[in-house]
Amino acid sequence: MTNLKILAISGSLRAASHNTFLLRAAQKVNPGGLDIEIYDSLRDIPPYDLDLDTPQDRPPIVRDLRRRISEADGLLIATPEFNYSIPGTLKNAIDWVSTDWTKTEGLPLLHKPIAIMGAAPTNFGSVRAQLALRQVFLWTHSDVVVKPEVIAFRSGERFDADGNLLDDATADLVAALLTALKEKILR
Ligand SMILES: Cc1cc2nc3c(=O)[nH]c(=O)nc-3n(C[C@H](O)[C@H](O)[C@H](O)COP(=O)(O)O)c2cc1C
């Protein structure tokens, strides 16, 4: 059987992002059977504009993201918490891939299996952002993994200078999340 395709998106743009590190850790603890590709163009997605949200007029980068999400068997999203919610860059990208105004293409996020996790340096590390993201995916009718919840709180203590995950407990949780995502896709 061919591997399942997982598109992984970090909600943080910075080079030393703990959330991007978490996605790299997911690639390492892959339980098998998954190809996990990290999306690296979030910073290039322009602000959402409904006037351009048609199959003909969408910016090429948005078309590319919509295609990659449609072709993926599942998504893995690592989100930081910005002001008790998800970063605007991440929400903006989700808005672009949440629509089908012409009713000709299908909705990229409809029933899409999605796993959510997050890292933040605070004691409450990304909990509220993850809840906010779950709420977004209610409207898009996506199929979000409920458990395990992966909350890398006090994330500064969990990675070395090269971004390697040092914490076995978090690694085990990430692996369990991937297994749950895989089971959801195969169900
Ligand atoms: C604009 C902004 C708002 C933030 N708001 C919160 C917040 O509400 N709660 C929180 O736990 N951390 C907050 N933080 C801290 C982020 O959680 C922290 O920068 C985190 O490491 C970002 O993830 P990254 O390492 O993947 O870049 C905020 C950071 C920024 C830049």
Nearest by Cα to 80 from 47, 125, 32, 34: 125
**Range(s) of the domain holding residue 31:** 4-186
Q: From ligand 1's centre to the CA of 25, what distance in Å?
A: 20
Token pair 């910073």 is at which residue?
43
Residue 105, helix vs strand vs coil: coil
pLDDT of residue 125: 85
Ligand 1 pocket: which residues have CB below 6 Å? 12, 14, 17-19, 80-84, 119-122, 124
- Taking the CA of residue 155 as reference, the ligand 1 atom at the shortest distance is 21
Shortest-distance atom of ligand 1 to CA 83: 8
C-alpha–C-alpha distance, residues 164 and 77, integer Å: 18
Distance 81 CA to ligand 1 centre (A): 5
Q: Where are the alpha helices (DSSP H) in the chain?
A: 18-28, 60-71, 88-96, 127-139, 168-186
Nearest CA to ligand 1 atom 14: 82
Atom index in ligand 1 nearest the CA of residue 78 equals 26
Q: What is the pLDDT of residue 123?
A: 93
In the prediction, which pLDDT does 157 show?
95
Alpha carbon nearest to ligand 1 atom 12, residue: 81
Question: Of the residues 13, 19, 38, 81, which should be mutated to test ligand 1's pocket, given the most ligand atoms within 8 Å of the CB?
Answer: 81
Nearest residue (by CA) to ligand 1, atom 23, is 80
Beta-bridge partners for 159: 165
Residue 143, CA distances (Å) to 40, 82, 97, 102, 152 in order? 23, 24, 15, 23, 22
Residue ID of nearest Cα to ligand 1 atom 17: 120
Instruction: Say whether 106 sits in a helix, a strand or coil.
Output: coil
Take residue 180 and report the two structure tokens written for it.
């749950």
**Residue 176: per-residue pLDDT:** 98
pLDDT averages per 10-residue partition of the chain, 187 residues: 96 98 98 97 98 98 98 98 98 98 97 98 94 98 98 96 96 98 97
Count up the domains in the chain and report the number.
1
What is the C-alpha separation between 53 and 67, in angstroms, rounded?
14
* CATH code at position 37: 3.40.50.360
Ligand 1: residue whose CA is nearest its atom 19: 120
Q: Tell me the C-alpha distance between 81 and 56, whole Å.
A: 34
